[in-house]
Structure 1
């Protein structure tokens, strides 16, 4: 059942990327002057991830639906290099399909272009979760996370398919950094599709 869900989500992302690539080949519509007022939202992302594949929560395979909103940079820089140091605030969440740890998070994201189409990202922030905080003797599918909130870090490698669409591979880690007695944390890996406004 869980394998079917993961495969179904994988097919959904792959078919979305195919549709986006097909749209990217169509000629661009005529553009008209728009308001110069800056937008609050920068990007929306959705995807899936494997839940802690190297730990107890990943036994037998377990998947998450993930979503994230990135907001516009609070200010702009006059040159491209300096702009890389200005982060975009973000909020997001991860819902586990098997009743294991789900979480919501917020933080800052830095995006660096390697080429016009290839980019890397790093983010840091905090997360709140519904997981176990202490050791649970009989529940072999839950990880003791020690406390809530936790620190959350992530890294991504992405490809821009068009001016608006991108696809990326992401790894994220949640941990309390030794602030509580239990501190194994969670590490999830996955793929996401992004739409830039």
Structure 2
């Protein structure tokens, strides 16, 4: 948990300092960081909105738990053939923190973004892994049995470039282990991520 909180603090500092992109002197440490950081995001989410990976019926979603905040850093796509071969995704590091003491996630992965024709809109997909602070088995009432400490992480989104720098993305994120462990109570969250691109 200490590692998660440390990562959240780092992401929050980055998210609160977009002006660094203009003020950083060439060759400075902050300029070097901003060379690899493409975008930072902060968001708010409904916790445990649905029980499966695919949100099949929005009428069955649970809208009563707006409890999560998220922090994400999306890095510049590495200049490497292997990344070009798979569609030039951006590496990502982030956390979704529950403010009511429920399950929180710390995730890393790759994020693909597809523009919707000649519009500011885009589709987005993320695939990676997520660690959590929840129970593996024998969870008390009101909590879930994740089974594995590290699970798969998937996220789907639709967003818009509001300005040259600002973005807004509606996202549905899910983590589960695909049956690799004895228990497999996944977690799905839905919300809005606001971003700042450097």
What is the TM-score with the length of structure 1 in the denominator? 0.72
Aligned match of 1:53 = 49
Following the alignment from structure 1 to structure 2, what is the Cα–Cα distance between the partners of residues 108 and 186? 19
Aligned match of 2:130 = 127
Asked which structure has the greater CA Rg, the reply is 1
Following the alignment from structure 2 to structure 1, what is the Cα–Cα distance between the partners of residues 136 and 64? 22
Q: 1:60 to 1:111 in 2, by over 3 A?
A: closer
Unaligned runs of 5+ in 1: 1-33
Alpha-carbon RMSD: 2.4
Aligned match of 2:73 = 69
**What are the within-5 Å matches in structure 2 for residues 1-197 of structure 1?**
39-54=35-50, 61-75=65-79, 85-114=87-116, 115-136=118-139, 139-197=140-198
Q: Is the 8 A contact 1:90 1:108 kept in 2?
A: yes
1:69-102 deviation digits (Å, cap 9, x = unpaired): 000011289xxxx798111100000110111001
Following the alignment from structure 1 to structure 2, what is the Cα–Cα distance between the partners of residues 108 and 87? 6
Unaligned runs of 5+ in 2: 1-25, 52-61
Aligned length: 155
Q: 1:50 to 1:83 in 2, by over 3 A?
A: same
What is the TM-score with the length of structure 2 in the denominator? 0.71
Q: 1:167 to 1:83 in 2, by over 3 A?
A: farther
1:107-126 deviation digits (Å, cap 9, x = unpaired): 10001111330001101000
